[in-house]
């Protein structure tokens, strides 16, 4: 399974959300496990915050009523527990209710102002986790990672979501090693892991182990630039990523050129018999036409690849050479992918 295919599957799975996903909550044997905060502890912490914030008694009673049926509450998944806690906080704090309404409709990238009683760790951490979950599901990885990296899995009701969404953000932001750490904690040291988290995490684990150089890295960089442009971003981080794409392509092409030269040198040393075979009439001209752009057979192929727009900082001659090298060394769809990528970026910048 290629890196790009895995990435697409992972992103599609992250966006999906099923509240009834209780299957596989304890499907794996874990050690030194992180798990859902006990219901009694959660209720005590919630009641403490309601008292601390001097919430009206009637409103406080309404918020705590959501936890009155112990059997029902104890059967909730960690995700459902987080949602119910946020609903309780929303009853007592209008700003949380506004955030919830926003996340259930168009969403918002702005976080709450954690001042006064909102600075309490119990309140702040869970509202932050809830908001970061929405941001991750909608591909705002830069904003979400700042929130998720500040959280301690021991202090939230749903550590599985923390590890999972943080791993997604880190992987999409090309921090594969850090993402791998989160995936390990999720798969091997966490209870109440939804089955879909576990399935997607296994795919992310495979993707995180892919080499961070070469073709896979170029694909990741291109995907990240496209994501940022899709979200309407055109700031310095986008420009930086675009520069990284060009640099990665330059390095890749240089390595391909060196490899081609070595292969040519090896072929030249294999004896006069092979040399004569390589120099049969028509064959040498076709090869030179493909590489140097002469009026031979290769010229027709080059014209078929002629498309509007340049590849980053490459001039026409370098672009032609790059296209030919990529066509020889990589799958056919990779050349098309680069062309579509450069055209789309050019259109979005008009």
| Whether residue 221 sits in one domain with residue 203 | no
pLDDT of residue 305: 34
Q: Tell which wins on pLDDT, 31 or 38.
A: 38
Q: Is residue 174 located within the same domain as residue 260? A: no
- Please indicate, yes or no, whether residues 344 and 244 belong to a single structural domain of this protein: yes
Cα–Cα distance list, 236 to 211, 239, 341 (Å): 26, 5, 19
- Looking at the fold, whether 20 and 155 belong to one and the same domain comes out as yes
- Predicted confidence (pLDDT) at residue 135 exceeds the cutoff of 80: yes
Q: Is 281 within the bounds of a domain?
A: no
pLDDT of residue 14: 63
Assess whether 156 and 233 both reside in one domain: no
Looking at the structure, tell me whether residues 235 and 166 fall in a common domain.
no
- CA 123 to CA 114: how far, in whole Å? 9
The 8-class DSSP code of residue 295 comes to: S
Last residue of a domain, one of 174, 193, 210: 210
Is the pLDDT reported for residue 142 higher than 80? yes
Rounded to whole angstroms, the Cα distance separating 328 from 257 reads 11
Q: How many CB atoms lie within 10 A of CB 80?
A: 18
Q: How many CA atoms lie within 13 A of 110 on its CB side?
A: 8
Q: Examine residue 273 and state whether it is found in any structural domain, yes or no.
A: no
> For 46-56, how does the pLDDT look when each residue is reduced to its tens digit (9 = 90+)?
999 999 999 99
pLDDT of residue 257: 77
Q: Which of 168, 188, 210 is the last residue before a domain boundary? A: 210
In this model, does residue 275 exceed pLDDT 70?
Answer: no
The Cα 347–Cα 343 span in angstroms is 6
Identify the domain containing residue 29 by its residue range: 3-210
Instruction: Give residue 136's pLDDT.
Output: 95
What was the pLDDT predicted at 112?
86
Predicted TM-score of the model (pTM): 0.67
Query: Mean pLDDT score of the chain, rounded to an integer?
Result: 77
Asked whether the beta carbons of 310 and 242 are under 8 A apart, the reply is: no
Nearest Cα neighbor of 140 from 239, 15, 4, 6 is 15
Count of structural domains within the chain: 2
Question: Are residue 168 and residue 223 in the same domain, yes or no?
Answer: no
Question: Are residue 182 and residue 324 in the same domain, yes or no?
Answer: no
Contact 26, 192 (CB under 8 A): yes
141 and 168 belong to one structural domain = yes
Q: Is residue 98 part of a domain?
A: yes
278 within some domain: no
Tokens of 312: 């980053």
Q: What is residue 252's predicted lDDT score, i.e. its pLDDT? A: 74
What are the CA-CA distances from residue 154 to residues 190, 204, 286, 288 (Å)? 11, 23, 66, 64
> What confidence tens digit (pLDDT) does each residue in 247-270 have?
777 777 777 778 778 877 887 776
* Whether residues 248 and 206 fall in one domain: no
Tell me the pLDDT band of 20, cut-offs 50, 70 and 90.
very low
Q: Is the pLDDT of residue 23 over 50?
A: no
Say whether both 164 and 312 belong to one domain. no
* Pair 138, 79 in one domain: yes
Of the listed ranges 35-44, 70-79, 104-113, 280-289, the least confidently predicted one is 280-289
Domain boundary (177, 210, 243) is at 210
């Amino acid at each position: 399974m290629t890196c790009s295919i895995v990435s697409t599957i992972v992103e599609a799975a992250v966006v999906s959300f099923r509240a009834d996903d209780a299957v596989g909550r304890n499907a794996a044997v874990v050690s030194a496990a992180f798990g859902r905060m006990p219901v009694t502890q959660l209720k005590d912490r919630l009641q403490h915050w309601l008292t601390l914030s001097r919430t009206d008694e009637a409103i406080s009673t309404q918020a705590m009523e959501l936890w009155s049926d112990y059997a029902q509450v104890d059967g909730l998944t960690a995700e459902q527990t987080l949602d119910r806690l946020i609903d309780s906080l929303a009853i007592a704090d209008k700003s949380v209710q506004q955030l919830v309404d926003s996340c259930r409709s168009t969403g918002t990238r702005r976080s709450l102002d954690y001042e006064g009683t909102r600075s309490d760790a119990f309140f702040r951490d869970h509202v932050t986790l809830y908001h970061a979950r929405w941001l991750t599901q909608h591909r705002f990885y830069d904003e979400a990672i700042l929130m998720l990296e500040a959280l301690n899995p021991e202090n939230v009701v749903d550590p599985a979501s923390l590890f999972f969404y943080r791993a997604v953000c880190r992987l999409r932001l090309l921090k594969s090693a850090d993402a791998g750490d989160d995936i390990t904690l999720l798969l091997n040291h966490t209870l109440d892991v939804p089955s879909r988290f576990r399935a997607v995490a296994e795919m992310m684990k495979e993707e995180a182990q892919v080499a961070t150089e070469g073709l896979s890295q170029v694909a990741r960089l291109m995907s990240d630039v496209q994501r940022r442009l899709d979200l309407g971003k055109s700031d310095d981080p986008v420009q930086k990523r675009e520069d990284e794409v060009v640099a990665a392509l330059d390095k890749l092409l240089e390595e391909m050129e060196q490899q081609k030269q070595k292969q040519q040198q090896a072929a030249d040393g294999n004896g006069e018999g092979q040399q004569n075979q390589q120099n049969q009439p028509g064959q040498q001209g076709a090869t030179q036409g493909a590489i140097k752009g002469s009026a031979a057979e290769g010229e027709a192929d080059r014209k078929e690849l002629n498309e509007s727009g340049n590849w980053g900082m490459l001039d026409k001659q370098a672009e032609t050479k790059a296209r030919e090298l990529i066509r020889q060394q990589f799958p056919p769809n990779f050349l098309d992918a680069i062309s579509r990528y450069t055209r789309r970026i050019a259109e979005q910048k008009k």
